[in-house]
Amino acid sequence: MKRKSVEYEKALILRKAGKSIKKIAATLGVSVSIVSVWCRGVELTEQQKEKLKRRKVNVRHLKRLAKQSHLEKITRVKKLFKDAYAEIKPLASKELFLTGLSLYWAEGFKSVKECRLGFCNSDPRMIKFIIKWFEKALKVQREDFILRTEFNETHKDRTEEIKHFWSKFTGIPLNQFEKPFYHYSSWLREHPNRDNYFGVLRIRVRKSSELLNKMKGWISGLSEAI
């Protein structure tokens, strides 16, 4: 009761000073309804009423401006995306080769222990691009792809779902998929929507040791081409 009594006295002082009910409630850490009851006997001057009225108008105006600014930002971002999207034209053969080579440099298998071309990523669009690149730029046959899914073992119950997802997205049949690899690391990030997690896809190309050696040369040449 003592605490409420102190807050009550402070509320009266603040209200007499012309503060709004919401401001007093936030300052004292009590509900708006309680402050409203405490202060209903306090009569504000005309000047104080006018000041609070102007403040309400200003707050509404600022909210409208913030909403308008947010909508303008969304429109601007959409336009930037649309304009940038339009800037990308169909790739010529050389452009396709260099684009895929850059992706392989970043995400492809390059270790001296490797004996085949390989690529691994979780972005389905990148996976689809690199498969098309293998086929168009390096003339890899579709039946020479060997795929393997890799994901957290907490999703083991979704094994078939994940395999079917990657098979459908890549257009490569399930009989070209190896046994899945499960990660048992507890630190792997949890996904907020479990059903949207499909791990990563590892791609290997049969009988591609010569292409892998050429790849290392291409990457070395690209690194100095600038």
Judgement on whether residues 118 and 196 belong to the same structural domain of the protein: yes
Tens digit of each residue's pLDDT (9 = 90 or more) over 165-197: 999 999 999 999 999 999 886 655 666 677 889
Q: How confident is the model at residue 192, as a pLDDT?
A: 66
Please report which confidence band the pLDDT of residue 201 belongs to, taking 50, 70 and 90 as the band edges.
very high
* Statement to judge: residues 121 and 39 lie in one domain: no
Q: Are residues 124 and 213 in the same domain?
A: yes
Instruction: Give the pLDDT band (50/70/90) at residue 3.
Output: low
Domain containing 196 equals 93-225
Judgement on whether residues 117 and 216 belong to the same structural domain of the protein: yes
Query: Based on the domain organization, do 219 and 119 belong to the same domain?
Result: yes
Regarding whether 210 and 117 lie in a shared domain, the answer is yes
Q: Are 202 and 103 in a shared domain?
A: yes
Q: What is the pLDDT of residue 21?
A: 86
pTM for the predicted model, two decimal places = 0.69
- pLDDT tens across 89-119, in order? 999 999 999 999 999 999 999 886 788 999 9
What are the phi and psi torsion angles at 152 (to 5°)?
A: -65, 140
CA distance to 176, 186, 203, per residue, from 162 (Å): 14, 20, 15
Q: Using one digit for the tens of pLDDT, what is the confidence trace for 38-74? A: 998 888 888 888 888 888 878 888 888 888 889 999 9
Are 102 and 201 in a shared domain?
A: yes
Residue 193 within a domain: yes
* Same domain (yes/no): 30, 106: no
Rounded to an integer, the average pLDDT of 13-30 is: 89
Domain annotation covers residue 21: yes
Alpha-carbon span 158 to 34, nearest angstrom: 53
Number of domains in the chain: 2
What are the residue ranges of helices labelled H in the chain?
Answer: 2-16, 21-28, 32-38, 46-87, 93-107, 124-137, 159-170, 209-225
For residue 72, being part of any structural domain is answered with no
Residues 112, 214, single domain; the answer is yes
Statement to judge: residues 34 and 142 lie in one domain: no
Is there a contact between 15 and 39 (Cβ–Cβ < 8 Å)?
yes
Report if residue 57 sits inside a domain.
no
Residue 131 lies in a domain: yes
